[in-house]
Structure 1
C-alpha cells in the first residue's frame, strides 16, 4: 500500500512539473506563423539566364544580387517545353504544367474548328474596365485548362488569401492570376493599368485613385541614358550592327515622345521599349500591395503577388540580348527591383516574404551578331515556306490547298479534303514532313500520327516538342528550325520560340530566409518546379496539372 501511494505521488509530481514546464516555455509557433505572409512571383519577360551570369558583377546590392546572394539560384533551370513563347512560359510558372496539359500552346494559334487564329487570353464575353476593347484583346483565362498555385491557395483558405497580378502584357498578368486571382495589365493607348469584367465590374477605389494621378505622363520628353560608365559596355555588340526598325533608333540616349508633340497613344506605346514600363508596373504593384493590404491579411493567411515585367522582351526583340540597350536595361531593372525589395521590407518585412524570380523564355542573338561568331544563322520566312509546301503537295497529289492554315511551328492540313480525294492522312503528313526536312533552316518535322502513336521519343528535343504538342489544339505538323535560325522577316532584331538552350535556360531564384537555403545550385531544374515547391511551402494542394518536383535541395 505504501509503495502504491509513493508511486502515485511520484507520477502526480512529475505531471505537475511537466505542466509547469509547459506553461513556463514560450508558446510553440502555430502553423500559420511558419508560412510566408506574402509570396511574390516575379517573371522577367525574355530574360535568358546567360545575361544574369554575364552581367552579375555589375548589379547593385539590393536587387538581383540580393537574390543571388541570399536566395537559391539555379544555373541550369529551363522552360522545359519546345515552343518557348510568352504565354506558354507564363502558364508554366504557377500551373507546374506543360502545354500538352494546360492548353496554352502559343501566344496565338489556329482554332481547330474555325481554322482562324485565336489569341491565348481573348474572350469576347468580357471587356477591359474603362478602356476600349477589341475582340482579340486578352480579357480572361478561359483557354487555360488547369488551375494555378494561386487558385489552390484561395481554395485552401476559403478565398481569404488574395492573389493579385500585374503586367505590361495582358497574357503576363492573366496567366499568372489563374481562374480566381485578379489581373491588371498595361493599356497601350492610355498608359493606364486596367482589369477586365471577368474579375470585377469596376476597379476598387485604390486603383481608381492611383490611375487618376497619371504616373505614366511623367516620362514624356524624358530620355533613357546609360546607367554605367562607358567602359562597362565594352563587350557589347557594336551599336550599328543592326539597322534600326522604322521609327526607332538603336542606341542610347533613347527619347520618349510622340510625333504629334503631345501625350498620346503613340507615346504610351513607346514606353514598352525601355525601363519606364517596368517602373510603372512595379509602381502599380506597390499600389496594389497597399490597396489590397497584401502581406497583412487580417485573416492571417498568405497572399500572392505576381509581377510580370515585360520591357526586357521588347528590348531584346528590337536590339538583341547582345546589345548595349539590353545590357543597360537589365542593370536598370536590377536597381528597380532593389527599390521594390526595400519597399517590401518596410511594408511587410522581408523575413515574412518569399520571393521567386524567373523568366518565361530566353533569347537568341540577332542573326547578324551570330554570324560574327561564325554561326549559321538566318531568318526564315514562314509564309514563303508554307506556300512552297502547299505547291509541293499539290504537285504530288493533284489536290490544291492541302495546307489549310498555320501558326508556326504548327501547320494544319486539310484532312477532310484529303479524304474526299481518297488520300491517306499519313501519306500527306509524311510527304509534307519530307519536303520540310529538305528545306534549308529546318532540322526536324513531326506529324500528328507520330505524336498520337507515341513515336516521338528518345532525344531531349523530342521530349520538349512532345510536351508542347496538345492533341486537341496543336497542328498536324510541328517543325523545328536549325539552331540560331527562327521564323521571321526583316533585317533587324531577333525572336525566340525554339527548344534550344538559349531559349529555354532562364533564371530560377527563390529567396526567403526562413524557408530557403541560399546557394548556387547546379542541379537541373525546371520552371514547372516552382508551383509544387510553393505548394509544399504554403501547405496547399499542387495545381491540377502540375508535373514538376519540389526543389527539396533548397529547403531549410
Structure 2
C-alpha cells in the first residue's frame, strides 16, 4: 500500500516537472482591444514619428511588438473585406465578404456587405435598411470568445461605419454601434438588441457630434513642422463645398450645411476619430469591460483617416495633421485602459483594413508610372464587343470590384457556352491599356497559385458572389479620379499595413518577417486560449507569442 502511494506521488511529481511550460495555462488578459485605423499606411508611423507624443503611437512602438512586413493576401483591399478578414483569420473566398458591395446574380440586385432586410436600425430613421453580420459566413475571434466563455465575456464594437462595427463584432456581440451622418447620433440594429442601452442614449443626448462640428480645424503644429508633406495649397486634393482652395483652416460650422449629409465634414476631419474615442471610453466604463475574470473584447474602427485620405491624399498637410490628432486620441485611450483595466491586464493590437495609393495626378506630374481607367468607357466597349460577337443582348449584368457579371440566363436562352464567352471576354480585356491581369471564374475557383497577384485574386474570389471575369489594373493605375487617393488593388501600396501589438503577454521588439493579415486572428486566439475561427487559414505569429 505504501509503495503504491509512493509510486503515485512520484508519478505526479514527474508529470508536473515534465509538463512543458508552453502547455501550462497562462494568465489571460482581462480585456482584448482590437483597433483598425481605416486606410493607414505603415510609412505614416515613421514619417510622422518625430511629431508624435510619448503616449500614443510611440508608446506602442517602443514598448510593444511591431510586425513591419504585414500584407493583405487578397483583393479587393477595401473596408468590408478588411474588417472581416482581420477578425475571421481567412480571406473573402471563405468568409464571404467579397467587397463593400457585390452583385447577387440569383436575385439580380446589388448587395451591401452588412445589409439585412430582416432587421431594423435602432435610433435612426425607420426606413433605413437594417444592419447585421449575416453576410459573413465564417465565425470571428469575437464569436469564439463568446462561445469559450459561455457568453460571459462581453464583446462591444464601435465605428463611424456600420461595416466597421458589425463585422468585427461578429454574430454574438453584446453591442455594435456606428455613426449616423444625418442625425449625428450613434445607432445600432435589432440584430443585437431591442433598444439602445441607456448609456448610448445618454451619450447621444450630450450632442458631442454638434460640439465637434462647431470646431475650426487648424494645424496643431507650426507650418514648418509639416516639411514632409506637400504645400497646403496644391492641386491633388478635393475642395470642400464652400471653399475656394483645399487649405487650412476648415471652419466646420460654416462648411457642414454646405456638404451633405450634414455631419460628413466631421467624418472627413480628425474630430470624427475624437468623437469615436469618446464613445469607446464610454463603452469601456459603462459596460464594465475588463472588470471580471472573463476576458472581454472591445473592437474599435477609426474611420476618419479613410475619409480624409479620400479627400486629401497621403502626402497632404491635412492627413499629416489627422494622424497627429489621432496620436493624441490613442494616448487618451491607452491612459483610460491603464486606469480602468490596469497595466498588464489588457492586450491590444492595431492594424488597418487596407492602405492607399498615391494620387494619380501626382504620379503623372512626377514622371512616375501610373494612370486612370475610365470604367464606364471600358464597359461600353465591352458591351459593343459582345454584341458584335454574340448579337444583340444585354450581355453584362453588372461591374463590381473589377469583375464583370455575365447574364447567364441570356447565355442559356441563346444556347451559348459560358466558358467560351468568359474566355472571349478575358482575351478582349487583356489587350486594353492599363490592365495587367485578367482571369476567368473557373481559373480563380479551380486553380491554385503561388505568385502573389494571382494568389490574391483567387483568395478574393467566391463563386456564388463573384463575377465571371476579373481584371486587375497595372501598378499605379486606379479608377478615374483627379484628386486624392483610393485603394483596392493587390499591389504593395494597398496591401502593406501596420501591425502593432501591446500589453499583457506581448514582448518588446520588431520583426521584418513576411506575415499576412490572416495571421492576426489565430495569434489573438492563441493569446486568449480560445478556439480558432472556424474558417481560419492564417498562422499564429510566433514572434508575438514570444517563441
Counterpart-to-counterpart distance in 1, 2:524 and 2:509: 18
Residue in 2 that maps onto 1:71: 64
CA shift digits 1:337-366 (9 cap, x unpaired): 011101111111121010100000000011
- What secondary structure sits across from 1:128 in the alignment? strand
Q: Describe how 1:251-400 pairs up with structure 2 within 5 A.
A: 251-258=247-254, 266-297=261-292, 300-400=293-393
**Which of 220, 240, 249 is residue 234 of structure 2 equivalent to?**
240
Residue in 2 that maps onto 1:435: 428
**Which of 127, 142, 146 is residue 138 of structure 2 equivalent to?**
146
Residue in 2 that maps onto 1:468: 460
Counterpart-to-counterpart distance in 2, 1:468 and 1:283: 35
**Relative to structure 1, is the Cα distance of residues 73 and 261 closer, same or farther in structure 2, using a 3 angstrom cutoff?**
closer
CA shift digits 1:65-109 (9 cap, x unpaired): 111111110111012112100000000111101000000000011
**Relative to structure 1, is the Cα distance of residues 221 and 180 closer, same or farther in structure 2, using a 3 angstrom cutoff?**
same
Are 2:436 and 1:446 equivalent residues in the alignment? no
Instruction: Check the 8 A contact 1:366/1:493 in 2, yes or no.
Output: yes
Residue in 2 that maps onto 1:177: 169
Residue in 2 that maps onto 1:28: none
Counterpart-to-counterpart distance in 1, 2:230 and 2:316: 5
Counterpart-to-counterpart distance in 2, 1:233 and 1:371: 23
Quote how far apart the aligned CAs of 1:236 are. Answer: 1.4
**Relative to structure 1, is the Cα distance of residues 553 and 261 closer, same or farther in structure 2, using a 3 angstrom cutoff?**
closer
Residue in 1 that maps onto 2:19: none
CA shift digits 1:424-476 (9 cap, x unpaired): 2122111211111111111111101212331x624110000100000111001
Counterpart-to-counterpart distance in 2, 1:180 and 1:469: 26
Instruction: Check the 8 A contact 1:446/1:477 in 2, yes or no.
Output: yes
CA shift digits 1:10-34 (9 cap, x unpaired): x8xx99xx9xxxxxxxxxxxx8881
User: Unpaired runs of 5+ in structure 2?
Assistant: 14-23
Residue in 1 that maps onto 2:523: 533
Quote how far apart the aligned CAs of 1:125 are. Answer: 1.4
Q: Describe how 1:107-126 pairs up with structure 2 within 5 A.
A: 107-126=100-119
- The two structures, once aligned, show a CA RMSD in angstroms of 2.5
Quote how far apart the aligned CAs of 1:274 are. Answer: 1.2
Counterpart-to-counterpart distance in 1, 2:182 and 2:254: 12
Counterpart-to-counterpart distance in 2, 1:107 and 1:53: 30
Q: Describe how 1:155-174 pairs up with structure 2 within 5 A.
A: 155-174=147-166
* Higher relative strand content: 2
Q: Which runs of 4+ in 1 moved over 3 A?
A: 258-262, 264-267
Are 2:29 and 1:39 equivalent residues in the alignment? no
Instruction: Check the 8 A contact 1:43/1:358 in 2, yes or no.
Output: yes
**Relative to structure 1, is the Cα distance of residues 211 and 235 closer, same or farther in structure 2, using a 3 angstrom cutoff?**
same
**Relative to structure 1, is the Cα distance of residues 69 and 208 closer, same or farther in structure 2, using a 3 angstrom cutoff?**
same
- What secondary structure sits across from 2:438 in the alignment? strand
**Relative to structure 1, is the Cα distance of residues 276 and 133 closer, same or farther in structure 2, using a 3 angstrom cutoff?**
farther
Quote how far apart the aligned CAs of 1:403 are. Answer: 1.4
Counterpart-to-counterpart distance in 2, 1:60 and 1:379: 38
CA shift digits 1:209-228 (9 cap, x unpaired): 22211111112331111112
Q: Give TM-score scaled by structure 2 length.
A: 0.92
Instruction: Check the 8 A contact 1:257/1:267 in 2, yes or no.
Output: no
Higher alpha-carbon Rg = 1
